[in-house]
Amino acid sequence: MFQKAMSVMMGQNVDPKFVNRLLATNFDLMDGMGMDTIKPFLQDVVRLEGLLGSLSRSFVADPLFTPQIIFHVGIPVLVDWMGHVTMIALYTLLHNAGTPVLEKLVEGMDDKRNRFRWRRKMEAWKFGSGSDYVLPSEKN
C-alpha cells in the first residue's frame, strides 16, 4: 500500500508535495514510536503492532490526508491491502495464541507426517506475522 501510494503514473494529476507529505508524516511518526517500529519497516518486515500504531497515529496527526491517499491508490487497492492486513492479524493471533498451546501437542504426535505439517503451519504463522524478525529491544 505504501509503495502504491508513492507511485505516480504518467499524466496523473497529483499534488507535487503528496509523496513528500506521505513520507514525512509516516517517518516522523515511526521515528517517534522507536526502533522497534521503524527498523523492521526499513527492512521490509511488516508487524501488526507497528503497522496499526503508525496508521492510527498518522490518521490523528493528519486526518485530511487519509481520504487523499485512498483516492490516490483507489478502492480496489485499498480492499486488497485490507485483506493482507487481516491475514497478518490472523497469523499474529495464531502465532501468539495458538503456537504456545500446540507446540507440546505437536511434539508428542506419533505420526511424523502430521508432526511435520503442524510444525510448518506454526512456522508459517510466525513468518506471516513478522514474528521471525528479532526486534532491536529483544537483542542481547
- 18: its cell numbers: 503528496
Q: Where are the domains of the chain?
A: 2-138
pTM: 0.85
Give the least confident one: 4-8, 27-31, 105-109, 116-120.
Answer: 4-8
Rama region for 7: left / alpha / beta (φ>0; ψ in -120 to 50; rest): beta
Secondary structure tally for the chain: helices H, strands E: 8, 0
What is the dihedral angle through the alpha carbons of 82, 85, 87, 89, rounded to the nearest 10 degrees? -130
Identify the residue whose cell numbers are 496523473: 12
pLDDT digits (tens, 9 = 90+) for 9-38: 788 888 889 889 999 999 999 999 999 999
